[in-house]
Amino acid sequence: MIILASASPRRRELLSAMGIGKFDIRPSAHESPLRTDMDEAGAVELIALGKARDISSKADKGDTVIAADTLVFLDGQALGKPRSEAEAKNMLSALSGREHRVITGLAVIADGREYTDAVTTLVRFLPLTEEQIDWYVSTGEPMDKAGAYGIQGLGGMLIEGITGDYFNVVGLPVARLARLLEAAGHKVFSRGQMR
């Protein structure tokens, strides 16, 4: 059985789009602090691994656990999910007209082995007016997303362009995940749906 250790509907949709026909959803409540004594990609990867280990410790022996964690970084500062509308507005104001990094850490645990990686995408925001920021926050969309925006939704109108993996910004870099699953022994690139 494949287990997705996330409640994110976007990750669920992307996993289905990869042709993985059947998987369980078991969100991890594990929270690891972001380590500041290592590079950003490695630190986000470690958070994802903590989530995967949490669910794997409760799973059956033959199960494969997939976990991911996405953070936005601006000027060396991590921007997670906003805790209030005011915080969302502050994040969007800081991102306005600037480029930032979106890093997703990935972890797969299968047969007692751990496979990890991280993907970085550069995202450039258009300059935003206060009115545009207020409107976007009023939609409610920013409240459950790292950096207070969702590229796949209304937040896409705030973005000038990206360099790198679009799906990484959504929250699950599918190309990199497919390679981790292959390394873990799953036949991702074969006919029929992977189970």
164: tokens are 């790198």
Strand ranges (DSSP E) for 35-98?
64-74, 77-79
92: tokens are 């969007």
CA dist 158 and 129 (Å) reads: 11
DSSP letters spanning 96-165:
TT-EEEEEEEEEEEETTEEEEEEEEEEEEEPP--HHHHHHHHHTSGGGGSGGG--TTTGGGGGEEEEES-
Count of positions (residues) in the chain: 195
Residue pair 38/30 in contact by the 8 Å Cβ criterion: no
CB atoms within 10 A of CB 131: 8
Asked about 69 being catalytic, the answer comes back as yes
Catalytic annotation, pick one of 54, 69, 117, 165: 69
CA dist 185 and 107 (Å) reads: 14
Active site residues: 69
